[in-house]
Amino acid sequence: MLTRGLATWRRLARETRSDTAVEFALIGTAFFLFVFGIFVVSIDQFLQLTLDDAVRNAARQVQIGSAKTSAIFVSDVCSEFGFEAPNCANSLQYDVQLGNYFGTMSPATLTSAGTLTYGNSSNYPAALVGSSCTTTSAPEFLLVQVAYKLPFEILLVPGGVATGNGTPALLSTVAVDMEPCVS
């Protein structure tokens, strides 16, 4: 019985017709998973860079007084980010705050589910509505935080690997100062 098993094993060991298929099955799977991982991280990084640029430009519009309402702010962000982000206007979460110094502001936080919890009671300050610059003599500071929950989740890739913040959402923050009005 043992010699019969050894003979069968030797015969199979000499067989070389399926070497390539076996090697591909062992190595090809890992290679395709590696390429897929690079693709997912690349898409997420592209979306993050696009969101950062859109938020920076929208914060500038708030700073110069063009974005006087939350609807205009969302429109400004989604006009640049909307092509890459389906349903941008409904999925965008944002928090815009004004303060005399950064210590008076409570930054919004991102939960593990990708939801932005607001640092203040309103996500768009009433002080910005109808104004084009700050009316106080001292400069005020503007903190803009925008989160966008990714429309797709890949179960094999943890959310933190792709987004960098440990959640299935992209987060962009811009902090600028708003100079007082010049008389």
Q: What is the pLDDT of residues 43-78, one digit of tens each?
A: 888 889 999 999 999 999 888 888 888 889 999 999
Q: Where are the domains of the chain?
A: 22-178
pLDDT digits (tens, 9 = 90+) for 30-48: 999 889 888 888 888 888 9
Contact present, 170 and 51 (Cβ < 8 Å): yes
Question: What's the 3-state SS for the chain?
Answer: CHHHHHHHHHHHHHCCCCHHHHHHHHHHHHHHHHHHHHHHHHHHHHHHHHHHHHHHHHHHHHHHCCCCCHHHHHHHHHHHHCCCCCCHHHHEEEEEEEECCHHHCCCCEECCCCCEECCCCCCCCHHHCCCCCECCCCCEEEEEEEEEECCCCCCCCCHHHHHCCCCCEEEEEEEEEECECCC
Q: HSE on the CB side for 139, CA within 13 Å?
A: 8
pLDDT of residue 174: 93
79 pLDDT above the threshold of 70: yes
Q: What are the backbone dihedrals phi and psi of residue 145, each rounded to the nearest 5 degrees, phi first? A: -125, 130
List C-alpha distances in Å: 164 to 78, 93, 134.
22, 18, 35
Beta strands at 92-99 and 140-149: parallel, antiparallel or unpaired: antiparallel
pLDDT of residue 130: 47
Percent of the chain with pLDDT over 90: 14
Question: What mean pLDDT is predicted for residues 107-132?
Answer: 69
Mean pLDDT value across the chain = 79
The band of 182, judged by pLDDT with boundaries at 50, 70 and 90, is low
Place of tokens 């696009």: 50
Question: What mean pLDDT is predicted for residues 133-146?
Answer: 72
15 pLDDT above the threshold of 80: no
